[in-house]
Structure 1
């Protein structure tokens, strides 16, 4: 790990010219004290790195210094293979490996192309953290040690022990046979089997993981796309799901569909007022109430009646609260 960090430090200085210890620490995701120790190690190894004092000082390399440091390690190569989505690399615990790999790719370019490529890259933005309506997209922060252990078990074909906290349940240890990793909208999942039955585990709920020496009991070949589709279909058919008939403004259709687990039916023609009618499924009652409340007043629940009554009660309570001026707290 330290060797990779030293290489990244040299590449950062080559590509940016002069950087402060604070900036280097942020780029490498370490402390400034670690950066200073790494600088000393590079100097001792004969790398011509030196400090420039003053307000705009920092660390820099002697002009023209170049060495062959661009070989990709396993995780960096893997990060590039999933780099079609930066958020995908993060979901699998490969965010820092992707950053390191991209520095090596830039450094390997001919000098005549390096500045042009870097300038062009600044003109492209993929998967920003917020959308056009300033809604922040959720990307799960996962401990590298946990995800790294899971990743190694998946690739090595070994069984895996995970300390898993399922929703509304106390965490417990489970031994599973890992099949593959999937990322959906910034959320990572482990596809596995447990006692021969298909299981899907959300990576953010894995508190600890341990790769075992025992070989995993799994098929030699797998179609992850097909496996995910099949598990998604079974999830949408869950016993606790709620079907809701909704009239929704055409402009908010995608918001409705995006919040549901499935579209069960949709009328081809809009109502005279331009609203669309869809029957959609939600994970459970609480999910249905929450999702439809977010769309008010752009959507109207037509059925079931209990959901209409629940939304009416919530709206009445809020209307009463805001129907009068706020009361000032009494001062003793």
Structure 2
């Protein structure tokens, strides 16, 4: 327990710089007297920790001091940072690096802890390939060479040439300033700018990529989560989106909302069914989503959607006609 606490103390100082004994005690959930004893133990062990007195004083590590897990290379360390999502490591072309890094981490553990960790790992399963209904999770296939080239440009801050196949368009080369990579629901995206305008590219549609030597025009710091939220909002409110008025069985509301881009209004009818105005990406998306709900939902408007669903149902009824 004390060894774990000493490591945590060093990592806290590494991350936050100078911290008071009271702050360290609060973070480690121990008394300030225990913190002082731990500081003394670290100093005796050769860890360059020192104290600064005064109102804004506290404990800090000498500049430049850092601990290393020997043997981890750049890709392995990066893979561990995204290991919270095993699928994220795979999407960004870091699956093999993650496996290699985890072997090194396990090998670095004391013998007793190594066996305990291995046993515990066998009790956990994260992101299986199928759900309880045996529906397979379809992950996008992106060539490792393409992902690696994009990743290098993102991290190095260089411009990037991509041969991109936009939907229903002929593939063509374009030069972009890469900002970051995002994975969401099994799909991966490159956030970039092109001629100063925001652009979002599906990695699965990048046929080839080439990192350029020219520096990218982008800010030094980026809030990737905020950038993704802003682009998601623009996507939901623009393009060829369609608004649909739907009546749906409350038991299937989650299915409807889960496929829609947004819910504009919602109310309850006298019979208990829900009446929602929702938006879909386009006409094909709207028809597909309502068809999945069968008789548990009814599209009230627009009329073209009702007609389309009627024609599809009539065709299906004719095909499965059981009359002699």
User: Is the pair's TM-score, using the shorter chain for normalization, greater than 0.5?
Assistant: yes
Give the equivalent residue in structure 2 for 1:124.
Answer: 124
Of residues 304-313 and 250-259 in structure 1, the stretch that sits farther from structure 2 once superposed is: 250-259
Question: What is the TM-score of this pair, normalised by structure 1?
Answer: 0.74
The alpha-carbon deviation at position 229 of structure 1 amounts to: 0.8
Q: Deviations over 1:26-84 (max 9, x none)?
A: xxxxxxxxxxxxxxxxxxxxxxxxxxxxxxxxxxxxxxxxxxx9611111111111111
Give the equivalent residue in structure 1 for 2:156.
Answer: 156
Alpha-carbon separation, structure 2, partners of 1:238 and 1:147: 29
Of residues 285, 294, 297, the one that matches 2:295 is 297
The alpha-carbon deviation at position 239 of structure 1 amounts to: 3.4
Alignment of 1:1-332 (within 5 A): 71-267=71-267, 270-324=268-322
Q: Deviations over 1:106-152 (max 9, x none)?
A: 11111111122111111111112122222222211211110000000
The alpha-carbon deviation at position 212 of structure 1 amounts to: 0.2
Find the residue that maps to 1:265 and give its secondary structure. strand
The alpha-carbon deviation at position 288 of structure 1 amounts to: 0.7
Alpha-carbon separation, structure 2, partners of 1:111 and 1:214: 49
Alpha-carbon separation, structure 1, partners of 2:250 and 2:100: 44
RMSD, matched Cα: 1.6
Alpha-carbon separation, structure 1, partners of 2:294 and 2:277: 17
Alpha-carbon separation, structure 2, partners of 1:210 and 1:239: 29
CA contact (8 A) 1:70 1:105 kept: no
Cα 1:275–1:133, aligned 2, differ >3 Å: closer, same or farther?
farther
Find the residue that maps to 2:84 and give its secondary structure. coil
Find the residue that maps to 2:132 and give its secondary structure. coil
Find the residue that maps to 2:295 and give its secondary structure. coil
Alpha-carbon separation, structure 1, partners of 2:174 and 2:155: 19
Alpha-carbon separation, structure 2, partners of 1:133 and 1:280: 27
Alpha-carbon separation, structure 1, partners of 2:323 and 2:139: 39
Aligned residues: 256
Alpha-carbon separation, structure 2, partners of 1:126 and 1:135: 16
Question: What is the TM-score of this pair, normalised by structure 2?
Answer: 0.76
Gaps of 5+ in 2: 1-68
Q: Deviations over 1:172-205 (max 9, x none)?
A: 0000000001110111100000111100000000
Find the residue that maps to 2:193 and give its secondary structure. strand
Find the residue that maps to 2:148 and give its secondary structure. helix
